[in-house]
Structures are given as C-alpha cells and as structure tokens.
C-alpha cells in the first residue's frame, strides 16, 4: 500500500513538473526542436533542472543496496549501444517532433488534452503492444 | 515569454525530484515509456498496482494544476494522420530503445549513462530532422 502511495506521489509530482514547465504544450516542445526556426530553449532548462536532483539521488542510491521500501536498487544495463537503441531512439524522436508529445506528457494531458490527446495515447499504446512482434521479425530478442 | 526559462527550470526541478523519490523510495527508474509499456504488453503484471498508481498521479494532478497555472493549452494537432503516425512512432521507438525522454533523458543523463546519452542524441536528431523537413521544407506542421 505504501509502495502504491509513493508511486502515486512520484507520478503526481512528475505531472506537476510537466505542467509547470509547460512541456504538455506541443508548441514549446516543437519550438525546442526547431533549431532552424524560432528556437525555444525552455526544454534545456527543464532537462537541466530535472537532472540536478536526480544526480544527487544516484549518489545516494549508489551507497545503499535497497530503496527505502526494501526493493533492491535497479540493475543498470551494460554501457553498450545496440542497434535497437539507436533505431528506436531515432523513430521515437521523429514521432516526438511530428506531434510534440513524448510518453510522459502523453499521459499527463489525458484529462485536459481533448480527443487529440486520447487518439495519440491510443496510437502510442498500439505501437508499444506491437513492438515485441516487430522485434521478433527483425530476429532480435527483447533487450534486458 | 521571457520568464519561460524560470518555469522550465522550476518544472524541471520538480520532475527531477519525482524521479529521485521513485528511485530512492520505491527502487524504480522513472521512465514513462517503460512504466506504461510494461503494463500494456503484459510484462509487468507483478508490479501492475505500483505502475497504475504512478499513472493515476500523473494523470490526476495535471487536470487540476494545468488550468490553475494557465498551462492547459496543448496546441496538439487535430490532423488525424499526424496523431496516429506520431503516436505509433513514439510507441514503437521508445519500446525498441527501452526508454524515452524521462528514462534515458532525465534518469540516464543524471548518472552519465552511455546508453542514455546515445538515446538522447538520436531522439533529438530524429525530432530536429522531422521539424526541419515537415515545418520548413513541406510546411505541414
């Protein structure tokens, strides 16, 4: 129960941060990616601001084996960039630029983003569900 | 607006605090695509309640906060083809890459993760190329 409570708290804080920074506004996101147009640097401040507390958290996480609620700290992947990482990130970025939404904001706008947000979310979920089959066709097992 | 960077920095600090809380208290990496992706493809059944709780918070708080802050305009396109294609690309891409802007971006870069930095370079590249081509060359978005 406590685990779910803190998960909801983390999710709520994440949503609050996305709204405060206006990263649920696709104009700001596409503006950041529009290097050759009216470039909007806001997203750099968002990412920079977000990395600071998280960097401190990683230092604390490195000093202990378990999280406060008893779960072992997550296993971290080997520092190897396989083709799926590169191809997947390119495809993700293209979709992100096309609409201005990435997965966090796509969920955060569910309650106020109108039918457009719901359509995007459903298409994103369809893509997620289809991915294991796509991976299989390319003859590669799922990454760990 | 000239004060946008302050809102950006403040929002970013809140997002990073959320990720720090999720790591240190729950022992999880706050990656939006992984949290949702594992739920919908059935690989996260044992942690479904925790993930659904996270998503409940992520959906509920903006409903109240967005109108309050005057940040409730998404300006999301009404072009159905764009919505469907971009949604599919984001869904497939983030699952292939095992992460998105929150997992690879915020959490990965914060620990100087090689994979996180590679992912970030390539999704920024993909996004930048699409905006260049579809906005400036084709005038579609």
Here the ipTM equals 0.97
Which chain B positions have a beta carbon within 8 Å of A119's beta carbon? 80, 83-84, 87
Tokens 């994103």 belong to which residue? Answer: A124
Question: What is the band of B2 on the pLDDT scale with cuts at 50, 70, 90?
Answer: confident
Instruction: Calculate the CA dihedral of residues A12, B112, A140, B101 and round it to 10 degrees.
Output: 30
Angle formed at CA A84 by CA A78 and CA A88, multiple of 5 degrees = 120
Q: What confidence tens digit (pLDDT) does each residue in A77-107 have?
A: 999 999 999 999 999 999 999 999 999 999 9
Query: Residue by residue, what is the 3-state secondary structure of chain A?
Result: CHHHHHHHHHHHHHHHHHHHCCCCCHHHHHHHHCCCCCCCCHHHHHHHHHHHHHHHHHHHHHCCCECCCCCECCCCCCCCCCHHHHHHHHHHHHHHHHHCCCHHHHHHCCCCCHHHHHHHHHHHHHHHHHHHHHHHHCCCCCCC
Q: Which pLDDT score, from 0 to 100, does residue A135 have?
A: 86
Residue whose C-alpha is closest to residue B18's, from A51, A124, A78, A131: A51
pLDDT for residue B138 is more than 70:
yes
User: Among B41-45, B81-85, B112-116, whose mean pLDDT is lowest?
Assistant: B41-45
- The percentage of chain B sitting over the pLDDT mark of 90, rounded to a whole number, equals 94
**Can you tell me the mean pLDDT for B111-139?**
96
Is the Cβ pair A57, B37 closer than 8 Å? no
Q: What is the distance of C-alpha B47 from the center of its chain?
A: 20
CA distance A89 to A80: 14
Q: What confidence tens digit (pLDDT) does each residue in B21-72 have?
A: 999 999 999 999 999 999 999 999 999 999 999 999 999 999 999 999 999 9
Q: What is the distance of C-alpha B134 from the center of its chain?
A: 22
Is the Cβ pair B96, A101 closer than 8 Å? no
Question: What is the band of B106 on the pLDDT scale with cuts at 50, 70, 90?
Answer: very high
Half-sphere exposure of A18 toward its Cβ, with a 13 Å CA cutoff? 37
Is the Cβ pair A47, B53 closer than 8 Å? no
Q: What confidence tens digit (pLDDT) does each residue in A16-46 have?
A: 999 999 999 999 999 999 999 999 999 999 9
CA distance A75 to A143: 13
Contact present, A85 and A91 (Cβ < 8 Å): no
CA distance B77 to B135: 13
Which chain B positions have a beta carbon within 8 Å of A125's beta carbon? 36, 40, 91
């Amino acid at each position: 129960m406590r685990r779910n409570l803190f998960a909801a708290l983390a999710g709520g804080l994440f949503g609050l941060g996305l709204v405060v920074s206006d990263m649920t506004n696709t104009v700001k996101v596409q503006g950041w990616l529009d290097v050759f147009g009216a470039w909007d640097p806001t997203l750099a401040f968002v990412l920079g601001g977000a990395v600071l507390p998280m960097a401190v958290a990683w230092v604390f996480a490195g000093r202990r084996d378990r999280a406060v609620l008893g779960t072992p700290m997550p296993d971290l992947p080997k520092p190897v960039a396989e083709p799926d990482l590169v191809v997947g990130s390119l495809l993700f970025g293209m979709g992100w630029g096309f609409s201005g939404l990435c997965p966090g904001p796509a969920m955060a706008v569910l309650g106020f983003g109108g039918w457009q947000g719901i359509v995007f979310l459903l298409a994103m979920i369809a893509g997620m569900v289809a991915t294991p089959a796509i991976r299989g066709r390319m003859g590669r097992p799922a990454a760990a | 607006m000239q004060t946008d960077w302050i809102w950006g920095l403040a929002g970013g600090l809140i997002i990073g605090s959320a990720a720090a809380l999720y790591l240190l208290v729950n022992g999880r990496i706050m990656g939006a695509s992984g949290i949702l992706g594992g739920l919908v493809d059935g690989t996260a059944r044992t942690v479904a309640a925790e993930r659904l709780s996270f998503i409940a918070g992520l959906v509920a708080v903006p409903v109240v906060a967005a109108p309050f802050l005057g940040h409730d305009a998404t300006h999301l396109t009404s072009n159905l083809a764009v919505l469907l294609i971009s949604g599919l690309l984001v869904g497939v891409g983030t699952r292939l890459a095992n992460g998105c802007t929150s997992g690879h971006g915020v959490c990965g870069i914060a620990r100087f993760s090689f994979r996180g930095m590679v992912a970030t370079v390539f999704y920024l590249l993909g996004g930048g190329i699409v905006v260049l081509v579809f906005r400036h060359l084709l005038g579609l978005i």
